[in-house]
Amino acid sequence: MYDLGYSRPATLAKALELLQQDDLAQLVSGGQTLMPVLRARLAAPSQLVDIARLDDLRQICTIGAGIEIGAGMTHAEVAASPVVRAHLPALAALAGGIGDAQIRHRGTIGGSIANNDPAACYPSAVLALGARVQTNLRMLDAEAFFAGMFATALEPGEIVTAVHFPACAVACYLKFRNPASRFALVGVFAARLASDEHRIAIIGGGNGVFRWHEAERHLDRGAGVDGLDTVPLDLANFTGDIHGSADYRRHVAKVITRRALTQMA
Q: Does 2 bind another protein (CB under 8 A)?
A: yes
Piece in contact with another protein (CB under 8 A), picked from 28-36, 56-64, 127-135, 218-226: 28-36
Q: Does 50 bind another protein (CB under 8 A)?
A: yes
Q: Does 114 bind ligand FAD (CB under 6 A)?
A: yes
Choice from 19, 25, 34, 73 touching ligand FAD (CB under 6 A): 34
> What percent of the chain is helix, strand and coil (3-state, nearest 5)?
35, 25, 35
* Site string (157-176) toward ligand FAD, x via CB under 6 A: --xx----------------
8 Å CB contact between 237 and 202: yes
Instruction: In whole angstroms, give the CA distance from residue 131 to residue 27.
Output: 23
Contacts 24+ apart (CB under 8 A), 242-250: 243/178, 243/185, 244/185, 246/206, 249/185, 249/186, 249/204, 249/205, 249/206, 250/205
Among another protein, ligand FAD, none, partner that 5 touches (CB below 5 to 8 angstroms by kind) = another protein
Choice from 19, 38, 109, 201 touching another protein (CB under 8 A): 38
Choice from 20, 59, 102, 245 touching another protein (CB under 8 A): 102
- Where would I find the beta strands (DSSP E) of 144-249? 160-165, 168-177, 184-193, 198-203, 210-211
Interface residue list for another protein (CB under 8 A): 1-6, 8, 28, 31-32, 35-36, 38-40, 47-48, 50, 52, 76, 99-103, 105-106, 181-182
